[in-house]
């Protein structure tokens, strides 16, 4: 078992390295480097370029060095918690980002929990009552959840809240907590404000989850052990709880690998519309102004979040499923 | 050797029996009625079509999609205005209602003229219907001139406004352009981006999934790792990053193909996995071994023997991933880092409905989301029906 955990964690390392190489490639993609265009822009505006600052930045990123060295410098810095320097804001990325990454984690976590809480009972109901009116109705709702783009749902909810309740639903905490250190009250305030983004982000994922859970459970319900148990006279409720549901639970945990990227994608765009203080709006702003180091850090952070999420789900799966625990296989 | 074989066989006495003098026809026992013949000799595709027809929702969705794709061929004719026609007197005009009853009598469809007043307090234009100005719609008429398919000039429209009046069925935007016309034109871009994108990602999936599934070994490992790495990125942020680094100097049409490529580049992984797992299962089948023993080369085995076995299933899966691409393009353009005007897609139209004021004051600018939802739903139902029809075991 310990061997499996170690193996699984070690497997993460090449993935993370590959991810960081891709992110670094994207950072390098725009023609020329940001520094040059930055200087050109300043000169075009007739401002003097602070040679000292330019030298500092060039040194900081090793821009005069070959690419592999630049990469090593960048990746090594990230390991030490140094995410680079934002040209746009003129300060280290870590300072620019502030709470945003933490808030993104909170929102994503709450959304995963929300998705599970909604999808689990509905999926079970749909599977056990296949082709009933309830099943059809819920399926249709699920399809709508998939079809309505996140950002539209966010806009519509803002519109509804504005027209009918006269309130603005942007923001993620009471004003008095903005820029303050984290306290219990602040966390509670964030949680209280997070329900709208969570609902908006969660719908798409929940709908997909319900459909997958339903299909999975239906497959289980057709298996022979269910028939056997039924033939033995086990009451339906107990039968469901005892066998197929546990199999479905397995899938629930392992499915986080596809759920998490979806939620994080949704969270980014929803945050832009609702102007939440998470990574979304800033990622967009950074991309638009081609502040690539800032954007790259966000991208890297989100990817790491997903890789860790999958790791956690694999470990949880190991705890849940003796087959994995005993053979040491890898679930995904 | 056992004893009973050595013993002489006990023969039964010959029975009187009837021998037919007619020539023997080996197929006589299996002669099919025309009805049976139709069923048993139907090709795989015919069977799929019959099964698909039974799935009503999927059939209706298919027809809706067909109509929408058909409309992109003749967008110019269907709409009352051109894509870029500006009605500078009618900026942010609300949707006009079509009336058929006037003075209690049924008349040809008409709209009322619009009166504009400036609300100086809130600094916005207020439009109201002028009940004295009756502007009948004209059908099969001559209106805004356009160049049809870039081949010849024409000005034929299905419906046009009265020469003295306007016809904004879904209102106008900040430049006074008709929203309905722009939505119909936008379908061209939004719908084709899904098709071109899926063609690209389908090819990628076939190549990579096929290689991994058929050869296995280290190729499989490499492809699997590649897929895993791509999948550990959140799709949308990566799309955003890639489309943001498309050079600004590119022409809009180049950006269109760039965005399509980016969408396809991240989309093929799911399909490739399906191809791989199917191939892994199928290559162990006897008929595949037989082909290999007869000396068929891998390319022939994959293309002639393996692909037909699951191509139908694959097409169904591909159909199900088109909506993701359409949504992706819409999201990118909505954020302003996807397609750029003058190319008009539904996402580009929605870009105008980005802030709260617009949503509150001019809600009709959010209407382009309706076709998005319809198309996504239709593709989902259609793909579901296709998949069920393509599965011979259901």
Per-chain mean pLDDT for chain B? 84
Using the Cβ of B253 and the Cβ atoms of chain A, whether some distance falls under 8 Å is answered with: no
Q: Is B90 on the interface with A (CB under 8 A)?
A: no
Tell if the CB–CB gap between B236 and A290 is shorter than 8 Å. no
Would you state the pLDDT for residue A37? 67
Mean pLDDT of B167-186: 88
Long-range contact set of residues B248-257: C-beta below 8 Å, sequence gap at least 24:
B252/B339, B252/B340, B252/B341, B252/B342, B252/B343, B253/B343, B255/B339, B255/B340, B255/B343, B256/B189, B256/B193, B256/B339, B256/B343, B257/B196
Percent residues over pLDDT 90 in chain B: 10
Q: At what angle do helices B235-244 and A292-320 cross, to 10 degrees?
A: 160
pLDDT confidence of residue B62:
93
**What number is the average pLDDT over the span B312-324?**
83
B237/A283 Cβ within 8 A: yes
- Residue window 330-369, chain B: list those with CB within 8 Å of chain A: 330-331, 334-337, 350, 353-354, 356, 359-360, 363, 366, 369
Give yes or no for a contact between B175 and B91, defined as CB atoms under 8 angstroms apart: yes
Q: What is the mean pLDDT of residues B224-228?
A: 87
Could you tell me how many CB contacts below 8 A there are between chain A and chain B? 126
Q: Would you call the peptide bond into A226 cis, given omega within 30 degrees of 0 as the criterion?
A: no
pLDDT digits (tens, 9 = 90+) for A86-127: 766 777 777 777 678 888 888 888 888 888 888 888 888 888
The DSSP secondary structure of B93-127, one letter per residue, reads PPPPPPEEEETTEEEEEEEEEEEEEEETTTTEEEE
Q: Does B244 touch chain A (CB under 8 A)?
A: yes
Q: How far apart are CA B153 and CA A287, in angstroms?
A: 42
The answer to whether B228 contacts A264, with C-beta atoms less than 8 Å apart, is: no
Phi first, then psi, for residue A69 (nearest 5°) are -65, -40
What are the percentages of helix, strand and coil residues in chain A, rounded to 5? 80, 0, 20
Q: Are strands B124-136 and B105-119 parallel, antiparallel or unpaired?
A: antiparallel
Binned at pLDDT 50, 70 and 90, residue A330 comes out as: very low
Least confident of A28-32, A264-268, B54-58, B238-242: A28-32
Q: What is the mean pLDDT of residues B233-242?
A: 86
What residue in B sits closest to A25 (Cα-Cα)?
B242
Residue A119 CA to residue A124 CA, distance in Å, equals 8
For B362, which residue in chain A has the nearest alpha carbon? A159
Q: B282, B306 in Cβ contact below 8 A? A: yes
Q: What whole-number percentage of chain B has pLDDT above 70?
A: 95
Q: Do A155 and B359 touch (CB under 8 A)?
A: yes
Quick check: B387 and B317 in contact, CB under 8 A?
yes
- Residue from the list B238, B244, B380 with its beta carbon closest to the beta carbon of A288: B244
B161, B85 Cβ separation under 8 angstroms: no
The answer to whether A261 contacts chain B (CB < 8 Å) is yes
Q: What is the pLDDT of residue B69?
A: 93
Backbone dihedral angles phi then psi of residue B119, each to the nearest 5 degrees: -85, 100
Q: Are A115 and A200 in contact (CB under 8 A)?
A: no
CA of A265: which chain B residue's CA is closest? B236
- Looking at the complex, report in whole angstroms how far the Cα of residue B363 sits from the nearest Cα belonging to chain A: 9
Sign of the torsion formed by the C-alpha atoms of A54, A55, A61 and A65: positive
Q: B245–A290: do the CB atoms touch at under 8 Å?
A: yes
Whether the predicted pLDDT of A327 surpasses 60:
no
Contacts of A15 in chain B (CB under 8 A): 225, 228-229, 232
Residue with the two structure tokens 């996995």? B273
What CATH number labels A101-327? 1.10.3720.10
Is there a contact between A261 and B232 if contact means CB atoms under 8 Å apart? yes
Condensed to tens digits (0 to 9), the pLDDT of residues A179-238 reads: 667 777 777 777 777 777 888 888 878 888 888 888 888 888 888 888 898 899 888 888
pLDDT at B61: 92
Greater confidence (B6 vs B133) lies with: B133
Q: Domain map of chain A by residue range?
A: 34-82, 101-327
- Contact residues on chain A for B231, CB-CB shorter than 8 A: 257-258, 261
The mean pLDDT value for A240-259 works out to 80
Distance CA B219, CA B217 (A): 6
Interface confidence (ipTM) of the complex: 0.81
Triad A233, A235, A239: Cα angle to 5°? 100
Q: What is the pLDDT of residue A203?
A: 84
Chain A: give the shortest CA distance to residue B356, in Å: 7
B248 reaches A (C-beta below 8 A): no
Domains in chain B, ordered, with CATH? Answer: 61-73+181-390 (1.10.3720.10), 96-167 (no CATH)
Q: Say what the pLDDT of residue A329 is.
A: 46
pLDDT at position B114 is 84
pLDDT digits (tens, 9 = 90+) for A119-143: 888 888 888 887 788 888 888 888 8
Task: Give CA angle at A230 (A225, A236), nearest 5°.
Answer: 115
pTM score, whole prediction: 0.82
């Amino acid at each position: 078992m310990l061997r499996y955990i170690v193996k699984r964690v070690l497997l993460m390392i090449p993935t993370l390295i590959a991810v960081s190489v891709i992110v670094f490639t994207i950072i390098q993609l725009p023609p020329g480097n940001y520094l040059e265009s930055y200087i050109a822009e300043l000169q075009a505006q007739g401002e003097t370029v602070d040679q000292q600052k330019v030298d500092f930045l060039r040194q900081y990123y090793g821009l005069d060095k070959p690419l592999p060295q630049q990469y090593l410098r960048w990746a090594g810095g990230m390991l030490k918690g140094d995410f680079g320097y934002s040209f746009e804001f003129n300060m280290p990325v870590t300072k620019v980002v502030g709470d945003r990454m933490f808030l993104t984690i909170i929102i994503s976590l709450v959304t995963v929990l929300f998705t599970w809480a909604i999808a689990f009972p509905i999926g079970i109901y749909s599977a056990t009552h296949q082709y009933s009116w309830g099943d059809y109705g819920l399926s249709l709702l699920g399809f709508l959840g998939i079809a309505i783009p996140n950002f539209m749902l966010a806009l519509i909810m803002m519109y509804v809240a504005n027209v009918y309740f006269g309130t603005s639903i942007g923001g993620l905490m009471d004003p008095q907590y903005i820029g303050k250190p984290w306290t219990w009250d602040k966390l509670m305030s964030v949680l209280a404000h997070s329900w709208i983004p969570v609902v908006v982000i969660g719908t798409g994922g929940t709908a997909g989850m319900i459909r997958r859970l339903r299909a999975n459970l239906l497959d289980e319900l057709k298996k022979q052990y269910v028939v056997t148990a039924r033939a033995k006279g086990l009451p339906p409720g107990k039968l469901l709880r005892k066998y197929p549901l546990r199999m479905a639970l397995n899938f629930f945990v392992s499915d986080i690998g596809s759920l998490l990227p979806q939620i994080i994608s949704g969270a980014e765009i929803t945050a832009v519309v609702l102007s939440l203080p998470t990574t979304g709006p800033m990622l967009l702003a950074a991309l638009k102004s081609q502040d690539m180091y800032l954007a790259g850090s966000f991208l890297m952070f989100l990817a790491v979040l997903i890789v860790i999420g999958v790791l956690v789900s694999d470990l949880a799966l190991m705890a849940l499923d003796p087959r994995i625990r005993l053979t040491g296989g890898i679930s995904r | 050797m056992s004893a009973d074989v050595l013993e002489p066989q006990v023969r039964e006495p010959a029975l009187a029996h009837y021998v037919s003098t007619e020539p023997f026809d080996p197929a006589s026992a299996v002669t099919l009625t025309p009805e049976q013949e139709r069923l048993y000799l139907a090709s795989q595709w015919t069977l799929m079509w019959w099964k698909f027809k039974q799935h009503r929702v999927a059939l209706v969705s298919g027809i809706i999609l067909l109509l929408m794709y058909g409309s992109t061929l003749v967008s110019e004719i269907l709409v009352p205005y051109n894509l870029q026609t500006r009605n500078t007197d009618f900026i942010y005009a609300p949707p006009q209602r079509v009336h058929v009853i006037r003075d209690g009598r049924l008349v040809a469809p008409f709209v009322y003229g619009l009166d504009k007043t400036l609300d100086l307090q809130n600094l916005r234009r207020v439009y109201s219907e002028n009940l004295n100005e009756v502007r009948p719609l004209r059908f099969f008429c001559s209106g805004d001139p356009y160049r049809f398919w870039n081949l010849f000039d024409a000005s034929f429209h299905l419906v046009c406004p009265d020469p003295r009046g306007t016809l904004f069925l879904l209102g106008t935007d900040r430049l006074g352009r008709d929203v309905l016309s722009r939505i119909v034109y936008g379908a061209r871009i939004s719908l084709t981006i899904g098709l071109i994108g899926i063609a690209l990602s389908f090819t990628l999936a076939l190549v990579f999934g096929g290689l991994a599934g058929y050869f296995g070994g280290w190729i499989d490992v490499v492809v699997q790792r590649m897929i895993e790495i791509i999948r550990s990125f959140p799709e949308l942020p990566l799309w955003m990053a890639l489309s943001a680094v498309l050079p600004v100097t590119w022409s809009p049409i180049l950006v269109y193909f760039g965005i399509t490529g980016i969408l396809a580049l991240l989309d093929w992984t799911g399909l490739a996995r399906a191809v791989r797992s199917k191939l892994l299962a199928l290559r162990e089948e006897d008929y595949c071994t037989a082909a290999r023993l007869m000396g068929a080369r891998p390319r022939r085995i994959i293309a002639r023997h393996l692909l037909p076995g699951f191509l139908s299933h694959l097409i169904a899966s591909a159909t199900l991933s088109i909506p993701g691409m359409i949504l992706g393009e819409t999201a990118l353009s909505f954020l302003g880092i996807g397609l750029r005007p003058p190319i008009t897609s539904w996402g580009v139209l929605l870009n105008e409905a980005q802030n709260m004021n617009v949503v509150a004051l001019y809600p009709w600018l959010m209407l382009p989301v309706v076709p998005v939802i319809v198309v996504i739903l239709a593709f989902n139902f259609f793909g579901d029906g296709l998949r069920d029809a393509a599965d011979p075991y259901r």
